[in-house]
Amino acid sequence: MKRGLLCFALAIAAVLAGCASAPVAELAPQSAARADRGPQAVLGTMALDLHLEARILALDPERVSDSDVRNALAHGPTPRIIGLHGGIYPVHLLMESFSRFLAGMGYPSHKLMHPGDGRLSHSPYENSLQIAGLIAWYYEHEATMPMMVGHSQGGIQLVKVLHDLAGDGVTQIPVWNPRSDAAEPRTTIVDPFTGAQRPVVGLKISYASVVASGGAALMLPNQWSMVRRLRTIPDTVDEFTGYALAVDLVAWDMPGAGPQYQPRGATRVRNVELPGTYSHVFVPQTAHLADDVAMRDWLNAYQPDQPAPMPTQAQSTDNSLWAADVWFHIKKHWVLEAQKVVRAQRDLARRSAALEPMKLPRDELQ
């Protein structure tokens, strides 16, 4: 009952808040622009030992164990995860709980933190173009495409970012530098794999998911543009999952009645209904799951199409289905991104070796 009253109060507060997104800052001076980055400069500095490379390439993205995470993936190329929390204070603490869950499951904690101020999630009142520009900066500097997870109004903002990257209503997006927290004077990046210049518009991230998004939050002025676009997922993400609670009075979802997310292109879109006992507010509260050995084993063995029964010895299973499904897909795309980097590094090393001049014995040079 207390949670139900809290959800209702937060819904009313969301409608009354009426906060608008902060505008994207003016382009930073030229001195803030990136240093000259030669073709594939990032790949050339990401040296891995041959044993780690081989282990990463041997991984099955659909079956990733705890040992695979901690002894292989965590030591290789790792994408940033951008969390977007709901809009009412202190809901951000719940997405921080999810970040602690991921760290407890073995995800490198520095890849969950903003490199500028260390925050673990982004506000839905940040301008979506800023987040899109941040994604471009991460990709250029780290050679892995970020993943995004959004809760409540943060999920709406996530889908808005996908539309921005698709060029819906925008033609250019400035690159956003997280260290200076400012836009750079450019709208293109150097692709770390090809060395070619490419615009921020058109970038495609690997994985994104939203939970309990829609409903009352769409009444806020900063989200009016998403009223007709929230459920349409553009072709700027490889795989997207929309999670809805069976009964969600804040997001206005009821069993089998809520509108579902649909792809606009080749994006793989999944719709997953979570139990009606889940709370709109508390669904990201998951840090406790990683502290429970029985629960952690179940989470790592989880398969979306054939979930095993809940472990009877687990201390708590709250929000575990959502956590398990998101963790499965994060591991999957972590593997795919890491393997892409390793293959590109090997290809770059082969081509570099082929270009080296043949070395003759000293006596033949005399």
Residue type for 149, please? V
Q: Among 30-44, 233-247, 341-355, which stretch is predicted with the lowest mean pLDDT?
A: 30-44
Q: Given pLDDT bands bounded at 50, 70 and 90, which one contains residue 84? A: very high
Answer yes or no: are the C-beta atoms of 197 and 137 closer than 8 Å.
no
**Which residues, listed in sequence order, are joined to residue 198 by a DSSP beta bridge?**
189
**Best CA proximity match to 217, nearest among 101, 347, 86, 322:** 86
Mean pLDDT of 192-200: 94
Dist CA 342 CA 340 (whole Å): 6
Residue-wise pLDDT for 251-280, tens only, equals 677 776 555 899 999 999 999 999 988 988
Dist CA 305 CA 336 (whole Å): 20
Q: Given pLDDT bands bounded at 50, 70 and 90, which one contains residue 361? A: low
Q: Which residues contact 230 (CB under 8 A, 6 or more apart)?
A: 156, 159, 213, 214, 218
Write out the two tokens for 134. Answer: 């941040």
User: What's the pLDDT at 31?
Assistant: 34
**Best CA proximity match to 84, nearest among 169, 209, 180:** 209
Would you give the DSSP letter of residue 358?
A: P
Q: In degrees, to the nearest 5, what angle opens at C-alpha 323 toward C-alphas 227 and 241?
A: 35
User: What's the pLDDT at 362?
Assistant: 52
Percentage of the residues of the chain whose pLDDT score is greater than 70: 84
213, exposed or middle or buried, with CB in 10 Å at 0-12, 13-18, 19+? buried
Q: Given pLDDT bands bounded at 50, 70 and 90, which one contains residue 15? A: very low
Answer yes or no: are the C-beta atoms of 272 and 85 closer than 8 Å.
no
What is the radius of gyration, based on Cα positions, of the chain?
22
Peptide bond preceding 90: is omega within 30 degrees of 0, i.e. cis? yes
Write out the two tokens for 279. Answer: 């709370």
User: What's the pLDDT at 329?
Assistant: 98
Dist CA 44 CA 146 (whole Å): 20
Answer yes or no: are the C-beta atoms of 211 and 62 closer than 8 Å.
no
Please give the full DSSP string across 269-291, using - where no structure is assigned: EEEEEEPTTS-TTTTT--HHHHT
148, exposed or middle or buried, with CB in 10 Å at 0-12, 13-18, 19+? buried
pTM of the model: 0.86
Dist CA 292 CA 306 (whole Å): 22
**Best CA proximity match to 129, nearest among 179, 163, 88:** 163
- Segments of 152-284 assigned E as strands: 176-177, 182-183, 188-190, 197-199, 205-211, 232-234, 237-245, 262-264, 268-274
Residue-wise pLDDT for 21-68, tens only, equals 444 444 443 333 444 455 567 887 877 899 999 999 999 999 999 999
User: Residue 11 above 50 pLDDT?
Assistant: no
Answer yes or no: are the C-beta atoms of 152 and 209 closer than 8 Å.
no
**Domain ranges for the chain:** 2-365
